[in-house]
Amino acid sequence: MKLLGSKTACLLFAMMSACVAQAAGGKPVIIDKTDQMLRAYEGGKLVFQTRISTGKRGKETPDGHYHAESKSRMHYSRLYKNAPMPYSVEFSGNYFIHGFSSVPDVPASHGCIRLPLDGGNPARWFYNWVDTGTPILVTGQWPGRRPRGLRQETIMPAVPLMPERRGSRISRNP
């Protein structure tokens, strides 16, 4: 499979974002396994992005179009020794987007999508923002390694992009 150039990839993601936002009432999530990023959109605008860690080789996170099925402030894994999974959002069977203490620059999970608990707690922000039924697109392919000296935080830090709104669950400092 040929990897796309950065301009082509940006255009492709912009088109996917617009299509998903239009079809889903304006609040989609895109999980990009190529650059290990989660991006959340509202009303066609990027409102949140954070680094993630998806499934490692042999336990890859499956591509596809999903919806947030259920949410749990604290879920415990039935598959992996009752492991705690804070701020869990189930999107397909035993696949969850959840907070985790270790979110390296590479795929490292058993298939779930790990969100950081540190640095402003992106896991909590996402959990509070996402609604049951929110569309989630999982796409991309991990290229195998990250270029030397390039850390994901230097590409895009975890930052809510919307200004604080009174009476809303969305804020800059979750």
pLDDT in tens, 63-117: 999 999 999 988 887 776 777 789 999 999 889 999 999 999 899 998 899 999 9
Give the lowest-confidence range in 43-52, 124-133, 141-150: 141-150
pLDDT the model gives residue 24? 47
The CA distances from residue 134 to 10, 82, 140, in Å, are 22, 27, 20
Superfamily in which the 27-160 domain is placed by CATH: L,D-transpeptidase catalytic domain-like (2.40.440.10)
Q: What is the mean pLDDT of residues 131-141?
A: 96
* Closest CA relative to residue 53, chosen from 133, 129, 117: 117
DSSP alpha helices (H): ranges in the chain?
Answer: 6-23, 122-129, 152-155
Residue 157 has pLDDT above 60, yes or no: no
Structural domain boundaries of the chain? Answer: 27-160
Provide the residue type at 25 as one letter.
Answer: G
Q: Which of the pair, 1 or 146, is modelled with greater confidence?
A: 146
Task: Give residue 36's identity as a one-letter amino acid code.
Answer: Q
Band (pLDDT 50/70/90 cuts) for residue 30 is: very high
Judged against a pLDDT cut of 90, whether residue 147 lies above it is answered with: no
Q: Give percent of the chain with pLDDT exceeding 70.
A: 68
Residue 41 vs residue 105, higher pLDDT: 41
| Higher-confidence position of 93 and 31 | 31
Average pLDDT, the chain: 78
Instruction: Please state whether beta strands 84-92 and 70-76 pair in parallel, antiparallel, or not at all (unpaired).
Output: antiparallel
What pLDDT does residue 6 have?
52
Q: Which stretch of DSSP H or E encloses residue 42?
A: strand 37-42
Say whether pLDDT at 36 is over 70.
yes
Lowest-pLDDT choice from 17-31, 38-52, 60-74: 17-31
Mean pLDDT score, 10-16: 51
Rg over alpha carbons for the chain, rounded to the nearest Å, is: 15
pTM for this entry: 0.72
